[in-house]
Amino acid sequence: MAMIAEHGYHGTGLKGILDTARVPKGSFYNYFKSKEEFVAEVIARYCLGMKASVDACLEAAGDDPVEGLRCVYGLSFKASEAHGFRGCLVGNLAAEIGDADGPCRDAMQRGTGMFREQVVALIEEAQQRHLFREDLSARALADIFWSTWQGALLGMKIGGDAEHLSRVMDALLDRLFRPAKA
């Protein structure tokens, strides 16, 4: 996972993976049909780890859906900061190979789908409490949240500005998602 996160799909060769894992090529092919199938499994495990982190974050946020969303992007900020702002594994792979059909794309769709459903639920709860605008569906706002988050991660990565993600996401939650004042 670390190699793929650092070097990307094309920059990570099968030989490097095998050498790092100290696994013979034949053993690799007992478990995976291809490098792509292996990377799809890496994506799935990464997404399950992120889901567990998000679940813990939501539990810590209690019954405040807006704080739950802040915690979600805060996790990403902390992970990016710890890894030199290289971005999200799935976001980076999506930019590199996301347009190719196959196991990796399927794994990215499943993983991001899990995450989006968590975000939709939080936004629905915020809408029910009249904390977020209701003129757009929770799913539409979740899509905006996801796209903004990924764009802010990219901006943070390009600019090396650690606070970029927080500024953008705070503006999204505190201003753009809030209901219009009468």
Q: Is residue 3 part of a domain?
A: no
24: exposed, middle or buried (Cβ count in 10 Å: 0-12, 13-18, 19+): exposed
Check residue 87 and give its pLDDT: 67
Q: Is residue 138 part of a domain?
A: yes
pLDDT digits (tens, 9 = 90+) for 22-48: 999 889 999 999 999 999 999 999 999
CA distances from 151 to 15, 144, 146, 156, 167 (A): 33, 10, 9, 9, 12
Q: Is residue 2 part of a domain?
A: no
Q: Is residue 21 part of a domain?
A: no
Q: Is residue 162 part of a domain?
A: yes
Q: What's the rounded Cα separation, in Å, for the pair 61 and 122?
A: 11
**Alpha helix ranges (H) inside the chain:** 2-11, 14-21, 25-31, 35-61, 65-82, 89-97, 103-128, 138-159, 164-171
CATH assignment at residue 123 = 1.10.357.10
Check residue 86 and give its pLDDT: 66
Tokens 């975000």, located at residue: 119
Check residue 85 and give its pLDDT: 60
Stated pTM of the model: 0.82
Q: Is residue 9 part of a domain?
A: no
Check residue 81 and give its pLDDT: 66
Q: What's the rounded Cα separation, in Å, for the pair 71 and 179?
A: 21
Q: What's the rounded Cα separation, in Å, for the pair 47 and 50?
A: 5
Closest by CA position to 142, among listed 92, 150, 154 = 150
Decide if pLDDT at 161 tops 80: no
142: exposed, middle or buried (Cβ count in 10 Å: 0-12, 13-18, 19+): buried
Q: Which domain holds residue 51?
A: 43-176
Q: In this structure, what DSSP letter does residue 175 have?
A: I
Top-confidence residue, 176 or 82: 176
Q: Is residue 8 part of a domain?
A: no
Q: What's the rounded Cα separation, in Å, for the pair 30 and 4?
A: 21
Q: What's the rounded Cα separation, in Å, for the pair 110 and 125?
A: 23
| Total domains present in the chain | 1
Q: Is residue 182 part of a domain?
A: no
